[in-house]
Structure 1
C-alpha cells in the first residue's frame, strides 16, 4: 500500500507544508494497519518518532471520507498537559477539513463543552477522570455524543498498564460503548512497551477485536548518557580529585560555578544548566520543591537572574502552563525542575539535556524521561546525579551500598542488554475499583436491580477474577453503610451517605489523594498542599518559601506571603513499584566487574568501593550476611510486592522457629533482624515453610485490614484482606526465591537466575 497516496488531500497538503521528504517507518506501518484491517492497533515507537501523526493521519482520512454522525474519535491521555499540547497540533491538522477538536477536562471552559453537546462532531480529547465525570453527569447525552464513534486513541498507554487507573480507563471505554451503542477500534500509543503482546491483550480486553502490532525499522537509538555520584559533603568517592568529563562532553567546560559550600550534586546541576534549556527530574514533589529552592538561591548568591522554573501536580494551572510555555520556546534558556508531570509525551521543543536526581523506580520512567530530549534530529541526552550522605562510622553493612547508584545502572543496563520494560500488572483483585464502578454505574444509570447491576459491572473485563459471591458480599456491605439503598421496588440506588462521596469531584479519580488545601497569595493561586502548618510558620511551594498568614480549615484555603528561606515541602506519600528484574540486575551490577562507559569519575570509584564491600561480605554467594552477634542482613533481590510478601513470610511463618526479632525493612533492598538460628537453619526452615501449602491470607496479621487502594475503607474487611493477600502480595515470586536459596547453599550463586 502507498500510504501517502491513501491519505486525504488535506493530510497530503499538511505533509507538504511541513516540509517532510518521506513518511517515517511508524507512519507507513500505522497506515497499513489502520487502512488495511478492522483490528485494534498498538503503535510502539521511540519518543518524537511521530506516533500521534501516524495514528491520526489515517484516522482523519477515514473520518473525512465517511463523516460520522457523532464524535468520530476519542483521544484519551493521562495528563491534561499532554492534551493541551496535542490540542494545537490536532487543531492545525484538522482545520482545513473542518473537523472540530474539543478538549474536555477540568481546566476547559464550560462554553466549549456546551458547544460540543449541541453539535457532537470531530475529535474529543479527555483524561480518564473527565471521562468518568462525563459518563456520570452526561449519561443521557452519551448516545448522541458517541453513537457513531469510530476510534479510541489511548496515548502513553504504558502509564495505564500497572494500576487501577488503567483498569478504570478500560471499564469506562466498555461502558461508553455499551451505552452509546458504538463499536470503535482502539489505537494505543507508547514509546516504552516491554512486552507488546501482553500490552496488546490489555488494549483489546472487552473489545471483541484482536490487536495488530505493526513491525518496522525504527532506526538506531543514539544516547548521550552520563552518571555521576556525589556525597553531600566532602570528601568525594575519589577523595576529591576532579573527575574528567566523559568523552561525549569533552569539549564542554562549565561556564559558571556554584557558590562556595554549595551542595555538590545540586551545584553540579547548577554549573551545567547555564545557557541551556534543561529538565531536572526528581522522584517526588517534595524533592522537586527543595531542588528548585536551592538552585534559585544559587542564582541569588551569584547575582544572576533566576533561570529555574518548577512543574508538578500540586501546582496551579497557571504555574504549570507557564513552565510548559517556556519549554516550548526554542529561544528560552530556562530550566524546569519537574516530576513525572513532564515525563509523558509533551512536545517541549529543543530541549538540550535532562538531569535525573537519583534513580527512578522503573525502566519505563527512565526511558520516558530520557525521551524528553533528543527531538528534532539530536540524540537523547541525560545526566544522572546520584546523591547520598557519608555512612556513619558505625554504620551496618547494608548502609555501605549506594543503592540509588546501583539501581540507576541496573535500569540502564536492563534496557541496553535486554530491552526490558515493565510488563502489564495482571492477576489482581481490584475491589477498590469494583466499589468505584458500582457507585459510578448507579450514579449514572439510576435505579437498577441487583442482577442488572451485576450484569453491567461484573461483566467488565477488569473484574473477570471477581466472583458473584464476592460481589454479593460487597453490595450487602454497602447497604449497611448506606452507600447504596434499596427502593420499595427492590431496586438499588445511591444512598444518602454514598451521595456525599459520588458528588465530590475527587470521586472521578481512583488513585489515592491526600486532603489538600489550596494555597493563595493575594489573587494568585499557587497550588495545593497537605497538612498546612499553623499561622506564622512557613511552607514551600512553587519553588519558593511563603509565610502562612491565615488558614481557613472550613474552605481548606491557606493564605500566605512570599519570604526568603529554604524549607522542606510535603505533599503526601507516594509508594514506588520496583520490578524484581531490576533488583536482580542490581545483584549482577555488584557481582560483575563490568565497566560502564557512562559512569563519571566519582561514580566509578563509588561503584568499585561498593563491589569491594559486596565481595568481602560474601553477598555474591548467599543472600544472608552475618553482621555480628545475633544480627543478620538479608538481601533477597526481589521487587516491591514479592519483598513485601517475604517480610510477612519471615515474621508470620518462620519467626517463631527462627526466634526472629526486631525485623527492620529497607524495602526493597534488604532486611535486618536478630535471630537465634544459624545460617544453615535459616535456609532450611525458610525452605520447609515455603514448601508447605498455605493460604496467602495467612500472611496477614490477626484483625489486620491493609487499606492499600483509595476505596478500600468502604469495602468489607474480608475482601480487603483477600485483595491484599491474593492481588498485591507476590507470594509465588517470593516462594520461588526462598526455595532457590536452599539449592544455592550447595551451589552458591545459582539462585539469581530463578524467575
Structure 2
C-alpha cells in the first residue's frame, strides 16, 4: 500500500482492516473515491461491474469520516432495493465496524423488533434500510427521524441503477429530499451503480435539483474475457404428448452442461423459474444424484432464499440457482462458473448486470443463451419468419460488447407516486398547506415537471376521492379514505403489489404467491422447486395449505417485460442487412438465424418497410416500443385495425394503398400530443394509485411514459416522402 496516496488518509482502524484482508493494493475506484468522500462537499456516483469493490469504495472513507466526527445519531444511512442485499451488506460490514467500534443495524420487515427498539433508544452508527422502511419511519416517527438523523454524514444508495426511471426510484428521490428538509441540511449522497451508457444521466438522477455538484467515479479496469454461446431450439408446429417439448429439451441441456459446478440460470419469469428448477431437480432424482438445482425469487420465504445464498457463498457444493432478477443485483453469492439465460433478455443493461455475476477472480465471464423459436409453416407470422427472438439476442450481445446500455426513462410525471408522497407528507406533519406541499415535492423535489396548475387539479382529484380534505384555516389534512390508505401496511410501497397468498406446508410458511388467478383445492402446483397439492384455500386470511404431490404446474405469477429501445431494433436491422453470423452460435442457432436473414432479404426489407401479406399489411419501422406504440395508435385513429408485436405493426383487412391513404391523413392533420393519444386508450390505470388520479392527469402521465410522438412523425414523414418519390419515378417512367 506504500504507493497509495489515499490509503494514508484513511483512519488507522480502517487501514488495519484493509491489512487484515491481505489486499496487495486498493482498486482504482477505491483509490479515487477516498478524497471526495472524505471532503463530503459533493455527491458521488461510484460505477463499476459486480464484485469490483464499490461497497468498500464508499464505506472505507465514509467510516473514516464517521470516526473523526463522532455524530450524535446515525452517521451513515445506507439504502438498498433488496432486503437480501441489506442482510448481505450487514455481514460484510461487521468485521470492519467491529474494529472501528461502529454499530451496524439492518432495518426491514424481517428484522427482529428488539434490534429496532435498540436503535430507536440510541440512534447511532450505520443504518441499513429499504425505501419502504424509510417511508414508514418518516411517516410514523418523524420526530425520532429529526433527532436520529440530525448529524447524518452520508446517504449511500446501493444498486442505484435499479431505481432509475421507476416509481420506486421517484419515491427514493422524494424520501432523500424530505429527509434533508426535515433536518434542514444537505447531506452528500453516494450512489453505487453498475456501469451504464450515460453516467451523467445517472448523476442527474441522484439529486434532480442539483443543489450539490456530482462527481462520477467509473472503473477503468477492463473486464475479464467473455465467452458466449447462443444455443437455438426449434419448437415443432405440431407437438403431441409423446414429443419432448422444447422447454424439456432446453432443461435437458441445462442439466448436462451445468451439473457439477455453480451457475445462475435467469428465466425472466417466476413461473418459468419454478418449472425449470423442478424439472432439473427431477433429473437429479432420476440419475440418483444429490439435487443441486434450486429456485430463487422474491416470493420464496426468507429461510429458503438465505439457505440457497449461503450454500452459494460457501462454494463447497455444486449449486445452480434458477432465478429472476433477485440475483441480478449485488448480493454476495461468491463466484459462479457461468450465467445461463433462458429466452431473450429484457434489455442490454439487464444482460450486463447478470453477466457481472460470473467471471470473478480473473476467470472469463461465461454466458450461455438458450433461445427457442417456432418451426416455420405456411401460417407463420412474420415475427417467426424473421426469427426475431434470436436476432434480438444477437443485437443485444453486439451492443453489450460495444458497452451501450439503455438510458433510463426520465422526465416522467409519476403521478401515482406523487399521491403516495402527498399523503405521506400530510400524515407526517398532520396538516400542510397546498403551496408548501407543491414547494417541497415539486418545486424543489423530484416531481419538478408538475407545475402549480397541474398540482391544483391533482389535489382536487384527491379531495373528490376523500383522500384529503381542507380545514377552515386552509390546511390540507387526510380524509377518511386517505387515513385508511395510509394506515394499511401496503402504503409504503410505491409500486403495485398484488395481494399475496401465504403458502404453508405442515404449518410452516414456505413463501407467498402474487397470483392473477386464485388457486383451488386439489390443484397441483410447483413452488420452491417442488411439487405440491393444494389442501385448502383460506381467502379471508389469504392462506393456502399444501401437501407434497407428484404432478404440478407453476402458478401464474404476475409481471410484464420491459420496452425494447430504438437502438436495439436498429442493431437488429444491421444484423439482417449485413448478414452477420456470430461465431458463438451453435449449429441449430446458425440454421435458425439463416432462415431469418434469408426471409428478410427475400422480402427486400432493406428497401421496404411496408409489405402486404394476404389481407394484412406489415409495417417494420425498426424502432423501439415507445415509437411503435405511437404509430399503432395513430393508425387506429385513422380507421385502420392496427396492432403491434415485437416491433412489427400488423394492419388487418387493408391494402398498402389504404395504409398510405391513412398516412396522408395523419400528416395533413394537426400533430397530436402524447396526451391526446393516451385519451384514446381504454384503460390507463397502470400504477398503484392511478384510480384516484383525475383522468386528464392520468392521460398526461400515460402519454409521456408510453409514446414518442416526435420519433413516430419523423418515421411517417420519411415513409411518405419515399412513397411520393417512388410514385413520381414510376409515373415519369410510364
- Greater shift in the superposed pair: 674-683 or 217-226: 674-683
8 Å contact 1:705–1:721 — kept in the other structure? no
Q: 1:493 to 1:381 in 2, by over 3 A?
A: same
8 Å contact 1:152–1:186 — kept in the other structure? yes
Instruction: Give matches, 1:529-608, under 5 Å.
Output: 529=513, 530=515, 531-608=517-594
Partner of 2:74, secondary structure, is coil
Matched, 1:178 2:181: yes
Instruction: Give matches, 1:211-610, under 5 Å.
Output: 211-214=214-217, 217-233=220-236, 263-417=248-402, 419-529=403-513, 530=515, 531-610=517-596
Match of 1:200 in 2: 203
Matched, 1:693 2:675: no
The Cα shift of 1:340 comes to 0.1
Matched, 1:626 2:626: no
Work out the CA distance in 2 between the residues paired with 1:396 and 1:667: 11
Work out the CA distance in 1 between the residues paired with 2:238 and 2:232: 12
The Cα shift of 1:303 comes to 2.9
Work out the CA distance in 2 between the residues paired with 1:592 and 1:383: 24
Work out the CA distance in 2 between the residues paired with 1:686 and 1:284: 42
Q: 1:73 to 1:206 in 2, by over 3 A?
A: farther
Match of 1:644 in 2: 629
Q: 1:329 to 1:746 in 2, by over 3 A?
A: farther
Work out the CA distance in 2 between the residues paired with 1:354 and 1:677: 45
Partner of 2:255, secondary structure, is helix
- Greater shift in the superposed pair: 140-149 or 25-34: 25-34
The Cα shift of 1:727 comes to 3.9
8 Å contact 2:532–2:552 — kept in the other structure? no
Work out the CA distance in 2 between the residues paired with 1:672 and 1:93: 63
Work out the CA distance in 2 between the residues paired with 1:479 and 1:281: 45
Q: 1:671 to 1:29 in 2, by over 3 A?
A: farther
Partner of 2:217, secondary structure, is coil
Match of 2:687 in 1: 709
8 Å contact 1:407–1:583 — kept in the other structure? yes
Work out the CA distance in 1 between the residues paired with 2:552 and 2:234: 20
Partner of 1:310, secondary structure, is strand
The Cα shift of 1:728 comes to 3.0
Deviations 1:484-526 (A, max 9, x none): 1233444222122122211122111111122221111122212
Partner of 1:535, secondary structure, is coil
Match of 2:652 in 1: 673
Work out the CA distance in 1 between the residues paired with 2:421 and 2:479: 15
Match of 2:85 in 1: 82
Partner of 1:341, secondary structure, is helix
- Greater shift in the superposed pair: 479-488 or 511-520: 479-488
Matched, 1:145 2:130: no
8 Å contact 1:293–1:543 — kept in the other structure? yes
Report the TM-score when normalising by structure 2: 0.93
Deviations 1:455-480 (A, max 9, x none): 33223432111121221222222222
The Cα shift of 1:14 comes to 1.4
The Cα shift of 1:686 comes to 6.8
- Greater shift in the superposed pair: 675-684 or 298-307: 675-684
Partner of 1:471, secondary structure, is helix
The Cα shift of 1:670 comes to 4.0
Q: CA RMSD in A?
A: 2.3
- Greater shift in the superposed pair: 485-494 or 539-548: 485-494
8 Å contact 1:224–1:382 — kept in the other structure? yes
Matched, 1:108 2:111: yes
8 Å contact 1:706–1:720 — kept in the other structure? yes
Work out the CA distance in 1 between the residues paired with 2:298 and 2:521: 25
Q: 1:23 to 1:721 in 2, by over 3 A?
A: same
Decide which of 577, 594, 601 is 1:615's aligned counterpart.
601
Match of 1:45 in 2: 48
Decide which of 72, 79, 84 is 2:75's aligned counterpart.
72
8 Å contact 1:64–1:97 — kept in the other structure? yes
Q: Alignment length, in residue pairs? A: 717
Matched, 1:722 2:725: no
Match of 1:62 in 2: 65
Work out the CA distance in 2 between the residues paired with 1:312 and 1:643: 32
Q: 1:732 to 1:142 in 2, by over 3 A?
A: same
Partner of 1:263, secondary structure, is helix
Work out the CA distance in 2 between the residues paired with 1:744 and 1:213: 44
Report the TM-score when normalising by structure 1: 0.91
8 Å contact 1:78–1:155 — kept in the other structure? yes
- Greater shift in the superposed pair: 739-748 or 528-537: 739-748
Q: 1:59 to 1:701 in 2, by over 3 A?
A: closer
Deviations 1:376-406 (A, max 9, x none): 2222111111113323442233322322211
Deviations 1:523-571 (A, max 9, x none): 2212222232221222332122221111111111111111011313211
Work out the CA distance in 2 between the residues paired with 1:491 and 1:680: 56
Partner of 1:229, secondary structure, is strand
8 Å contact 1:148–1:182 — kept in the other structure? no
8 Å contact 2:33–2:217 — kept in the other structure? yes
Work out the CA distance in 2 between the residues paired with 1:591 and 1:261: 29
The Cα shift of 1:735 comes to 2.0
Q: 1:30 to 1:669 in 2, by over 3 A?
A: farther
8 Å contact 2:236–2:374 — kept in the other structure? yes
Unaligned runs of 5+ in 2: 727-734
The Cα shift of 1:37 comes to 6.1
Q: 1:397 to 1:574 in 2, by over 3 A?
A: closer
8 Å contact 2:684–2:698 — kept in the other structure? yes
- Greater shift in the superposed pair: 614-623 or 674-683: 674-683
8 Å contact 2:180–2:186 — kept in the other structure? yes
The Cα shift of 1:740 comes to 2.9
Match of 1:254 in 2: none
Partner of 1:458, secondary structure, is helix
- Greater shift in the superposed pair: 507-516 or 275-284: 507-516
The Cα shift of 1:183 comes to 2.0
Unaligned runs of 5+ in 1: 237-258, 749-755
Work out the CA distance in 2 between the residues paired with 1:666 and 1:485: 45
Which structure 1 residue ranges, 4+ long, deviate > 6 Å from structure 2? 259-262
Q: 1:514 to 1:210 in 2, by over 3 A?
A: same
The Cα shift of 1:216 comes to 5.2
8 Å contact 2:674–2:708 — kept in the other structure? no
Partner of 1:272, secondary structure, is helix
Match of 1:751 in 2: none
8 Å contact 1:143–1:181 — kept in the other structure? no
8 Å contact 1:687–1:739 — kept in the other structure? no
Work out the CA distance in 2 between the residues paired with 1:452 and 1:698: 31
Deviations 1:291-341 (A, max 9, x none): 112212222333333221111111111121112111112112121110000
Match of 2:171 in 1: 168
